[in-house]
Chains A and B, each alone.
Chain A
Amino acid sequence: MARAFVDISMHLENDVISDPPGYGPEIKYFTHQDTASDVTAFFPGLNEVDLPEGEGWAIEKVHLITHNGTHLDAPYHFHSTMDKGKESITIDEVPLDWCFRPGVKLDFRSLEDGYIVTADDVEAELDRIGHDLQPLEIVVVNTAAGGAYGSDHYVSSGCGMGRQATLYLLERGVRVTGTDAWSWDAPFVHTKDKYAETGDASLIWEGHKAGREIGYCHLEKLHNLEALPPDGFEIACFPVKIRGASAGWTRAVAIFDK
């Protein structure tokens, strides 16, 4: 069957800021010219001129964290336990069956940066788009951060998903969610102000910590969600299998039957 693909992942790159200072990836590029001698070293007696046009192989060294670029967070990132006391699963333990499912998009682009989405907001948006939420659907949230990508204020842009909103989804059987913002929770710079005002520590990372009650995964730093309809597509988001890790990079893709 003919299919159409919409790329919903961002580039992993040196130049566009998509992480707080000190947390960005560093990619070091080696060109074909740089590496010709690396290739010949494997074959004693081989000279660089023996290689087609004297070229070796292009390769990159990357120094990064598991949360750079578009990635899937495992429950282990949030807390050592999930499902009220069970050991949290790491990214290599996330069921593949969770990662290829029908997608639903919630459009929260008009909500202000730092706003914490409630369960009512989720229900109202599902009503607006006329979607009957099913277990294991992959629910992605389009925030104002999507439009801020490429600017210096990307990391502080967009609304966040609160504990209530997260549990609304999880209680209905959702296990993979996603956002185009830096984090599933509201940008820290906004929550910092709220914490300073209220002294209420339950505000901190509340959407992530909802995984203590019901283990789940979320995609962060998605991209191009504006291009998706509210539903009628599948999302593939299989994470790179890093042993015992808190997250894995993924090439998240939306797939449409033509």
Chain B
Amino acid sequence: MQLPTKFVDISMMLDNETVTDPDVMRPNIEYMKGADNADVICSFFPGLTTDQLPDGQGWAWERINLVTHNGTHLDAPYHFHTHDKNDKPMMTIDEIPLDWCFRPGVKLDYRRLDDGHVVTAQEVEDELDRIGHDLQPLDIVLVNTRASECYGTDEFMTAGVGMGREATLYLTERGVRITGIDAWGWDAPFHHTAKKWEETKDPSIIWEGHYAGIDNQYCHLEKLQHLEKLPANGFYVACFPCKIKDASAGWTRAVAMFD
């Protein structure tokens, strides 16, 4: 294999400071410094005293309370529903084929579309035409929204377009199995959809992009970052998810690679 000559980090930082989730599900990281832990290491070796450790330092480590959907992560179909339209169990994150997770990437640029807009199949086709990309099965399709410009601000949670049922099926019917977005969710921000729901009382607009996974099981990356640094295509995406047993998602360090 030819090794990549350039990497673009398309993952966001998992941290305590930046608001990228609703309050009820933010991560909490507790940091233990090396100097704080000299006693801990000594407890494993009876007789050892902290002054015998280099510079009196133990190990640095962290305790983290979080959910499987904090930070950049890959959603498994099991997150969306228990079973698909054929009554097959939805795959959990530890069952996702690794072969899906290292594939050529394609970027759709929807930064100019309004927050809360639900992208249609026609808009996907138009953008593929504009960039001149001939979509292939298992291409990893990344959606760049206005949310990327709002990272670090209070607007992040409500910014960006969402991918509707139609748009999602357009991709999965053509063999795409991994998609991704730089917003909080693959669907439009709930704030906007809640308003539409209030007007229309149409329940089919709720989480419609996720529920499209009932028709064709697929995974999506959420909370990507720096997609604006990528060209429309001509790169690989690696997004192998942490292997959490039977889980609905796994954190990942998504990376774009160029030959």
- Identify the A interface with B (CB < 8 A): 1, 3, 5, 7, 9-15, 27, 29, 31-32, 39, 42-46, 50-53, 55, 57-67, 69-70, 76-81, 92, 96-97, 100-102, 188, 191-192, 195-196, 199, 201, 204-205, 208-209, 212, 234, 236, 238-251, 253, 255, 257
Chain B's nearest CB lies how many Å from the CB of A199? 7
Residue contact B66 to A96, C-beta cutoff 8 Å: no
A interface majority secondary structure: mixed
Chain B residue nearest to A16 in the complex (CB): B245
- Identify the B interface with A (CB < 8 A): 1, 3-4, 7, 9, 11-17, 29, 31, 33-35, 41, 44-48, 52-55, 57, 59-69, 71-72, 78-82, 94, 98-99, 102, 190, 193-194, 197-198, 201, 203, 206-207, 210-211, 214, 238, 240-253, 255, 257
Known A12-B243, A251-B243; judge A58-B248 contact (CB<8 A).
yes
Residue contact A238 to B255, C-beta cutoff 8 Å: yes
Can you list 17 A-B contacts (CB < 8 A)?
A5-B99, A9-B242, A27-B244, A32-B82, A59-B67, A59-B69, A62-B65, A100-B4, A199-B47, A204-B48, A204-B53, A240-B72, A244-B31, A245-B62, A247-B62, A249-B251, A253-B98
Residue contact A62 to B45, C-beta cutoff 8 Å: no
| Chain A residues whose C-beta falls within 8 Å of the C-beta of B64 in the assembled complex | 62-66, 242
Chain A residue nearest to B201 in the complex (CB): A45
For the complex, give the distance between the alpha carbons of A66 and B251 in Å: 12
| Chain A residues whose C-beta falls within 8 Å of the C-beta of B16 in the assembled complex | 243
Given contact pairs A240-B72, A245-B29, a sample of 15 additional A-B residue pairs in the complex whose CB atoms are under 8 Å apart: A3-B102, A7-B98, A50-B203, A58-B82, A60-B247, A64-B63, A64-B64, A67-B61, A80-B57, A188-B44, A201-B48, A204-B52, A241-B13, A241-B253, A242-B14
For the complex, give the distance between the alpha carbons of A9 and B240 in Å: 11
Residue contact B257 to A100, C-beta cutoff 8 Å: yes
For the complex, give the distance between the alpha carbons of A80 and B248 in Å: 36
| Chain A residues whose C-beta falls within 8 Å of the C-beta of B241 in the assembled complex | 251
| Chain B residues whose C-beta falls within 8 Å of the C-beta of A205 in the assembled complex | 41, 59
Chain A's nearest CB lies how many Å from the CB of B157? 11
